[in-house]
Chain A
């Protein structure tokens, strides 16, 4: 078992969730309730990573954030190290790649809240922030949790974009999915099997939790 790789994957997943929780809520609420020009395009953009090969996303990320790009060069001059092939670069790629997994379940959860319920909150004197805290967030909570579980599990298993953007640097960017690939390449069947079964069990539990929560949200609004 490659423990550093497992720890790195857990760390990457946790940070991805931490970033996507507020970001996802903001984007999901906008798409769920606001009518604005180009809304369909924003929704399409959010969904794009679902159909895009991870290597394509990785390629563009390298082009935009690599050392030769202006953004990459600016990053290097500020932080003294490149963004590509670093944990930060990996995290950025992971956040972008997980947007649909975070936003879509949250969007569905917010959409399930009837407009009248939010209006009733306003007419009860609640500010928008109070309405969010007392009404919207608790009602959307199962959807938000399932979004976070999906994001976490998906990051744990992500391979292509991680390899492209992070490379394969043990302790820095080598995640468990890449470690499994390494083990197989090195004919270490037992190592690959142990890590694969762990990831399988983890994914099973995560996806099970998502369905349980989805059922709960269905009952709540049904």
Chain B
């Protein structure tokens, strides 16, 4: 990164909240800070805004040094060009939507403020509601006012602290779509704090995985989701199909690594980082497990065939979560999600013996780690 216009953050402290975070965010890029509650996401955002002062660190934005503890630089929030949307919006309750937005325009001539605030409210689809006070607006409308106010300062960075957590699901989807559209019009770094993996996946270009204030992985969203660096990250990303195995052979010519797991020999995507005989953690996303049809065996079943017994069958609306017990060892379970009407057509039930294919391209190897960390709540479990 390091380009002019981008944001560079590096923070370290041991107390009161431990921090060891480092990430960049380019102009026009959206980075999601993802982690369970207490992982320091909001603290990091507050350090960027100048509301919290870390023990050590550097924050640079658009070529300006906002924080550099080594040089004794720590600009107050007023002198950092940030636009921030707080989790509960923090609108000024005694001012109209229009006045809320104008309040952040001290940097432009007074005569231009009213018109510019009107434009911003139009941008966030609030035309006609300018004179309403925050308590006369719905949650979604308040969020839009907060976004317009954050943009009113012509910020060099936009900070969003769980901006969609206080609205219902339908409104959340709509606001997320609007934010995605808005991005084409604002070329500043955007940092999104969220504990909703789906939200991060849908909106962000890159993801920074945090745990206890520490950056565990930083990369493009799809890359991080498909290829967690460690088993801990995989757990934080709610990957349930996480197991221990051993590398049997490397076959770079075929683009394969062979893996020993239970009584099976699995073919995995080539993972050159591991030597033959190494113990590894491996995972497979639910969408890379294919259930064989009982009535009609088909081609492709020769790829990593695995048998088991259905342990759980949980219809969740359009999809059904199916957990299959594999092998004799208790606790080895593969979870997959099926389209509910397919599951019904196959007449699946608890106790049925089934066969599956584990797609080799979906099997991802990581350094072996038995360490267990807290797991993120799956997005679907959240209330609206």
The interface of chain A, by Cβ under 8 A from chain B, is: 114, 116-117, 119-127, 130, 134-135, 138-139, 220-221
Q: Which of B77-85, B267-275, B276-284 contacts A (4 or more CB under 8 A)?
A: B77-85
B82 contacts A123, C-beta separation under 8 Å: yes
Q: List 19 interface pairs A-B (beta carbons < 8 Å), by A numbering.
A: A114-B88, A116-B86, A117-B92, A117-B93, A119-B77, A119-B86, A120-B84, A120-B90, A121-B103, A123-B153, A124-B103, A124-B106, A125-B78, A125-B104, A126-B78, A134-B92, A135-B92, A135-B103, A220-B93
A123 contacts B51, C-beta separation under 8 Å: yes
Q: Which residues from chain B contact A121 at a C-beta distance below 8 Å?
A: 92, 103
Q: Which residues from chain A contact B152 at a C-beta distance below 8 Å?
A: 124
Say whether B384 faces chain A, with CB atoms less than 8 Å apart: no
C-alpha spacing A139/B51, complex, angstroms? 21
CB 8 Å contact bits of B8-42 with A (1 = contact, 0 = none): 00000000000000000000000000000000000
A122-B76, A124-B149, A124-B152 known; A138+B94 contact, CB < 8 A: yes
C-alpha spacing A220/B91, complex, angstroms? 13
Q: Which residue of B lies closest to A116 (CB)?
A: B90
A120-B86, A127-B78 known; A139+B153 contact, CB < 8 A: no
Say whether B107 faces chain A, with CB atoms less than 8 Å apart: yes
Q: Which residues from chain B contact A122 at a C-beta distance below 8 Å?
A: 50-51, 76-78
Q: Which residues from chain A contact B106 at a C-beta distance below 8 Å?
A: 124-126, 130
Tally of B interface residues using CB under 8 Å: 23
CB distance from A129 to the nearest CB of B (A): 11
Say whether B156 faces chain A, with CB atoms less than 8 Å apart: no
Q: Which residues from chain A contact B86 at a C-beta distance below 8 Å?
A: 116, 119-120
A120 contacts B78, C-beta separation under 8 Å: no
CB distance from A50 to the nearest CB of B (A): 31
Residue from B50, B83, B93, B107 in contact with A139 in the complex, judged by beta carbons closer than 8 Å: B93
Q: Which residues from chain B contact A119 at a C-beta distance below 8 Å?
A: 49, 51, 77, 86, 90
Tell me the B48-79 residues at the A interface (CB within 8 Å).
49-51, 76-78
**14 more CB-based (< 8 A) A-B contacts, given A122-B76, A221-B93:** A117-B90, A120-B86, A120-B92, A121-B103, A122-B50, A123-B77, A123-B153, A124-B106, A124-B153, A126-B106, A135-B103, A138-B94, A139-B94, A220-B94
Q: Which residues from chain A contact B103 at a C-beta distance below 8 Å?
A: 121, 124, 126, 134-135
C-alpha spacing A126/B152, complex, angstroms? 13
CB distance from B14 to the nearest CB of A (A): 20
Q: Which residue of B lies closest to A122 (CB)?
A: B77
C-alpha spacing A56/B91, complex, angstroms? 47
Q: Which residues from chain B contact A127 at a C-beta distance below 8 Å?
A: 78
Q: Which residue of A lies closest to B146 (CB)?
A: A120
CB distance from B43 to the nearest CB of A (A): 13
Most B Cβ at <10 Å: residue of A117, A124, A130: A124
C-alpha spacing A126/B103, complex, angstroms? 8
Q: Which residues from chain A contact B77 at a C-beta distance below 8 Å?
A: 119, 122-123
CB distance from B250 to the nearest CB of A (A): 53
Q: A-B contact count, CB below 8 Å?
A: 61
CB distance from A25 to the nearest CB of B (A): 17
Q: Which residues from chain B contact A116 at a C-beta distance below 8 Å?
A: 86, 88, 90
Q: Which residue of A lies closest to B80 (CB)?
A: A123
Q: Which residue of B lies closest to A113 (CB)?
A: B93
Q: Which residue of A lies closest to B152 (CB)?
A: A124
A122-B51, A125-B104, A125-B106 known; A114+B90 contact, CB < 8 A: yes
Q: State the 8 A-B residue pairs at the shortest beta-carbon distance, nearest first.
A: A124-B104, A116-B90, A120-B90, A122-B77, A123-B84, A123-B77, A117-B90, A116-B86
CB distance from B160 to the nearest CB of A (A): 12
C-alpha spacing A143/B90, complex, angstroms? 20
Q: Which residue of A lies closest to B87 (CB)?
A: A116
C-alpha spacing A180/B51, complex, angstroms? 56
CB distance from B66 to the nearest CB of A (A): 12
Q: Which residues from chain A contact B76 at a C-beta distance below 8 Å?
A: 122
Q: Which residues from chain A contact B90 at a C-beta distance below 8 Å?
A: 114, 116-117, 119-120
CB distance from B144 to the nearest CB of A (A): 15
Q: Which residues from chain A contact B92 at a C-beta distance below 8 Å?
A: 117, 120-121, 134-135
C-alpha spacing A114/B86, complex, angstroms? 12
C-alpha spacing A221/B152, complex, angstroms? 25
C-alpha spacing A220/B133, complex, angstroms? 11
Q: Which residue of A lies closest to B88 (CB)?
A: A116
CB 8 Å contact bits of B87-118 with A (1 = contact, 0 = none): 01011111000000001101100000000000
Q: Which residues from chain A contact B51 at a C-beta distance below 8 Å?
A: 119, 122-123
C-alpha spacing A125/B88, complex, angstroms? 19
CB distance from A96 to the nearest CB of B (A): 33
B49 contacts A125, C-beta separation under 8 Å: no
Q: Which residue of B lies closest to A127 (CB)?
A: B78
Q: Which residues from chain B contact A126 at a C-beta distance below 8 Å?
A: 78, 103-104, 106
